[in-house]
Structures are given as C-alpha cells and as structure tokens.
Structure 1
Amino acid sequence: MGKTRKTYDIHFKKKVVDLHLNDGMGYQTIAREMDIDKNQVRRWVNHFQEEGMKGLEEKRGKAKGPGIGRPRIRPEDPESKMKRLEAENKMLKKFLDM
C-alpha cells in the first residue's frame, strides 16, 4: 500500500509560518523542532505569502470548479431520457443505412 500522508490543521501551519516570518527562524531549524520536512515549511510560507490564511487551508480532495470530479448520480427526468434515446436511435439508424 502507499504511504499515508499526514495532514496538519491550519493553526499548526500558521504557527510554523509565524516562527519563520516573525521570529526569523530558518526552515531547517523549524523543521527539526516541529518534526516536519523543511520543504514543507518553505511551501507553507510561500502559500501564506501568496494567498494569506486561505493558502494554508487543505486543498486535497476538493473539486476546483463545477463539473470537475466524479459526476453526481441523479435520476434522469423522462423528457431528457426520451431525447437521449431518440438521438441514440437516430445514430443507430444511420449506421444501419451505411
């Protein structure tokens, strides 16, 4: 199985970012003290500087816009089902006439 990714809450990320920006601690020092990777610290600082608190929110598993991601399953209304079936029949008749 794959490696399980650990998630951190937004308050922990903000604390890490503040240690770098306000206290002037280096990425390596923060990483060692907080037991996280230094690249993760750098990534959180960059996200915070670009987007503010919104940049520290968890983004995994969220669709980026309408129609993106797995489609929702809803029962098809009779009118649209009839139109779809008529179009299928028309297409099949075309293939049979060839």
Structure 2
Amino acid sequence: MIIRIVHMHFNEADAEEFLTIFEKNKHAIRNFEGCTHLELLRDANNPAGFTTLSHWNREQDLEQYRQSELFRAVWGKVKPLFSERTQAFSLEKFIEL
C-alpha cells in the first residue's frame, strides 16, 4: 500500500475555492482505480492549510491517477490558488501497532 500525503497552503479567500473544488471531485478521486481511502485534513493552527491523505493499492495506481485527465483538471484549478509551495510525500506502511 502507498500512502500519499499532500500538504497545501492557501490564502484565506482561496481556501473556500479549494474546498469547493475538492467537494466537487472527492468522489471521483476516491473511486479512481486503486484508491482505497481519501481524507482531507485542516491545519489546527491555520484554517487555510490543508492536507490530503490518500491510500493506493500500488505505486502504479497512484502514478496512473497522476497521469489522468481527472488529476490534470483538478490540479489545474487548485495549483494557482496555492500561497506556498506544496509538500508531497509517498510512504509505505512500515510498522503498525
């Protein structure tokens, strides 16, 4: 399993636009082949900071999503709203207690 974490910062006015875009596309992203989990987290100290957490069966599934028209359409709308550079990480579950 691949866990993808993407941390994003927006200006307050643009955060609402991001939430609208996420709301419109969350089911399509979650139902993309290979995606088994999707959640949106809000920064406890910055209401314009968000993190997406998604689980993918395989690295190839994540890469297929990243090359998809869905990703290009969503990212094309969200990217101009960023107030800072995003941070993205792909992780594998290592130890679970």
TM-score after normalising by structure 1: 0.25
More helix by percentage: 1
More strand by percentage: 2
TM-score after normalising by structure 2: 0.25
Highest RCO, 1 vs 2 (Cα 8 Å, sep ≥ 6): 2
Greater Rg over alpha carbons, structure:
1
